[in-house]
Every structure is written in C-alpha cells, then in structure tokens.
C-alpha cells in the first residue's frame, strides 16, 4: 500500500518564476492538505482540497493556488516566486476533512534563488 | 503571540528517563488536538490524537486541559529512538495550526 507520494523531491527556481508541485494521496484517502515548512518552523497550513474544491485556506497570498483531480491527486502552484518561498512543501492526505489519520508525504524542497 | 506555542528545547534527557512537553493554544474555539513526531529532514508523522479524557499509547500519554488551554505529552522509559522534534497541532475552524516543535535528544 503506497503512502503519500510527492514530486519532485527537490527543485531550484529563480525569483519571478512559477512552480508546480504534485501529490498523490494514500490509497483510500480523499482529502489533500498542503503545508509550507520553513527551516526551524512548524508546518504552515496553505489549503485543503476535498471533492476537487478548495475547502479551507490559511494565510497565504493568491500566488499560491491548487487543484485536486478526480483521482484525488493534487497540485500546488506558486506564481511569481519570492526568495521567502524557499521551504519544504508538504502534502498530507486523510480519509475525510477532520485531520484525523493525516499522513504526510516526504515533501518537495524548493529553493528560490 | 503565536496561536500554538511550544518550548523549542532542546530537551536533553538520559535514556530511560521520563520527559514531558507542554503546548499552549490561545483560541478557545480550538476543536481537536494532535501530537506529531518529525525526524530530521523527514516528514511529520502522527503520533496520537489527544482526547478530553486523556489517552495512552504504550509509553506515550497525552492529556488535554481545556480550562488552561494546553495539551501535554509524556514519554516514559525514553529510548534513543525517541530523539526527534515533537510538534503539537490544533484544529480550529477546519484549519490546522502547528507549533514550532520541541526538540528532544535522548542521551545514552
């Protein structure tokens, strides 16, 4: 049973560019949440997708957008990258929206230069 | 003031000792509470949900004090493999908020 998978593992981008990160949830999970984790900080909630819609959103600008597909996989898009967007981006899946039994993927480490 | 606060540590504890962490939350509307464990350069893993009545899983015990707005995690008979960062998380308005984490080093 595959857990949560994310791609790519690492990414280097230049300021102003756009990036797309991908996530496949654990089998049987229908909800995907995205987090940004800067060094030395806890994960910061970006948004949650359920039934292909953004259900909840944290305090992130509109440059951060996402999508969920019918197979429950998800993408996180970040436009107009800033140096401060450098972080580990974590995807987590759960069976339902309650965050119980939430499993994280290994993350994508994004470096913006 | 951060909505979820934890002592960053590090806590340096000899193997076999008991260690306890607290986590405070500022919003009384918080609904659900969790402890996660995160190893260096790895993803967080759910350790346990925290219930009002308290709950135990082996050497780990979690407690919730709604009146004082804190949750606690107690680790008994600590092992070297318990060395990690422990994150508390709070669900409010269908969003989840993490603390910065507490670093634990178990010393041989």
pLDDT digits (tens, 9 = 90+) for B16-71: 999 999 999 999 888 899 999 999 989 999 999 998 888 999 999 999 999 999 99
Residue A41 has which token pair? 């900080």
* A108-112 and A10-13 beta bridge pairing: parallel
Subunit contact B32:A107, Cβ cutoff 8 A: no
Share of chain A above pLDDT 90, in %: 92
| A-B contacts at Cβ under 8 angstroms | 52
Instruction: Pick the closest to residue B21 from B38, B9, B4 (CA basis).
Output: B9
| pLDDT number for residue A96 | 86
User: Rounded to whole angstroms, how far apart are CA atoms B92 and A6?
Assistant: 26
Query: d(Cα A48, Cα A103) in Å, to the nearest integer?
Result: 13
CB contact under 8 Å between A56 and B4, yes or no, is no
* B97–chain A nearest CA distance, Å: 7
Cβ neighbours of residue B59 under 8 Å, at least 6 residues apart?
B75, B76, B77, B78
Distance CA B33, CA A56 (A): 18
**What pLDDT sits at residue A2?**
77
Chain B residues with CB under 8 Å of A99 CB are 32, 34, 89, 91, 96
Interface test with B, best of A29, A40, A43 (most B CBs within 10 A): A43
**Mean pLDDT lowest for which of A32-36, A44-48, B27-31?**
B27-31
Both tokens assigned to B87: 């994150």
Residue B97, CA distances (Å) to A48, A51, A71, B21, B35 in order: 13, 22, 27, 17, 12
Q: Calculate mean pLDDT across residues B4-14.
A: 95
Taking residues A7-17, report their average pLDDT.
98
Q: In B, what residues contact A, Cβ < 8 A?
A: 4, 32, 34, 42-46, 49, 87, 89, 91, 93-101
User: Rounded CA gap, A5 and A108, in Å?
Assistant: 10
pLDDT in tens, B56-93: 999 999 999 999 999 999 999 999 999 999 999 999 88
């Amino acid at each position: 049973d595959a857990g949560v998978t994310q791609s790519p593992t690492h990414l280097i981008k230049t300021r102003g560019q756009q990036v797309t990160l991908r996530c496949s949830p654990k089998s049987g999970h229908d909800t995907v949440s995205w987090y940004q984790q800067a060094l030395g900080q806890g994960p910061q909630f970006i948004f949650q997708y359920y039934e292909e819609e953004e259900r909840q959103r944290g305090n992130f600008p509109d440059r951060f957008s996402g999508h969920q597909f019918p197979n429950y996989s998800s993408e996180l898009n970040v436009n107009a990258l800033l140096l401060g967007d450098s972080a580990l981006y974590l995807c987590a899946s759960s069976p339902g929206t309650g965050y119980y039994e939430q499993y994280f993927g290994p993350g994508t480490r994004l470096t913006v230069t | 003031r951060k909505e979820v606060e934890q002592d960053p540590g590090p806590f340096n504890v000899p193997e076999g000792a008991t260690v306890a962490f607290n986590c405070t939350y500022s919003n009384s509307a918080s609904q659900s509470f969790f402890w996660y464990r995160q190893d260096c350069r790895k993803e967080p893993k759910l350790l346990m949900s925290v219930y009002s009545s308290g709950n135990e899983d082996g050497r780990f015990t979690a407690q919730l004090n709604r009146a004082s707005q804190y949750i606690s995690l107690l680790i008994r008979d600590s092992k070297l493999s318990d060395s990690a960062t422990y994150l508390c998380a709070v669900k409010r308005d269908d969003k989840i908020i993490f603390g910065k984490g507490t670093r634990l080093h178990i010393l041989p």
